[in-house]
Structures are given as structure tokens and as C-alpha cells.
Amino acid sequence: MPKKKTEIKEEIEESSKSHSTGGDSITTVKITKKTKERLEKLRSYKRESYDELIQKILEILNIARTDPARARSILLSIDREKSWKTYE
């Protein structure tokens, strides 16, 4: 049975929490302005950090390796969520 949107979102959030900096050192990464603009368009909420965003992308890529259908479902749910926020 496919997972509900809230279950998928919670799963990603839990995964992101487990990857939080929690004592890890922080580094600077240089990216082009075009890449920065693309990352900004992928944010789920305005104050989502680049670290959170990159972790989310990497988690979805890892899921895609073993379960492409599930990864697609996650991406579609993110798209739906973003489209709802556009109308708010």
C-alpha cells in the first residue's frame, strides 16, 4: 500500500534530523549563482537551510537507488505540497 503524504514527509524529516550537525564541524561550499537559484526553488519552506535541502536531496537519491517508485512518490508529494503553498 502506498504511503500517505504525511508519512513520507515525516520519514524525510526524521532522516534529516538524524543528519543534523549535532557537533559536526561546518564548512563552506562554493556554488554558482545558477546552482544557488536552483536550490532556492527546491526549498519546502522559506528558512530551510541549504544543509537541510542537500540532505533531503541526498536522501531521496539514496531511496531512488533501491526503490525508484518510492522516490518518485516522495518527489510528487513535495511538488504537491509546494503547489498548495503557492495558493496560500
Query: 45: alpha, beta or left, given left = phi > 0 and alpha = psi -120 to 50?
Result: beta
In a domain, 38, yes or no: no
In a domain, 27, yes or no: no
pTM: 0.63
Name the domain count of the chain: 1
Q: What number is the average pLDDT over the span 26-49?
A: 90
In a domain, 33, yes or no: no
In a domain, 21, yes or no: no
In a domain, 62, yes or no: yes
Residues of the domain holding 86 = 1-13+47-88
**Residue partners of 26: CB distance under 8 A and separation at least 6:** none
- Of the chain, the percentage scoring pLDDT greater than 90 comes to 45
In a domain, 31, yes or no: no
DSSP line for 44-68: SSTT--HHHHHHHHHHHHHHHHH-H
Closest CA to 6 of 80, 65, 60: 80
In a domain, 18, yes or no: no
For residue 24, what pLDDT is reported? 79
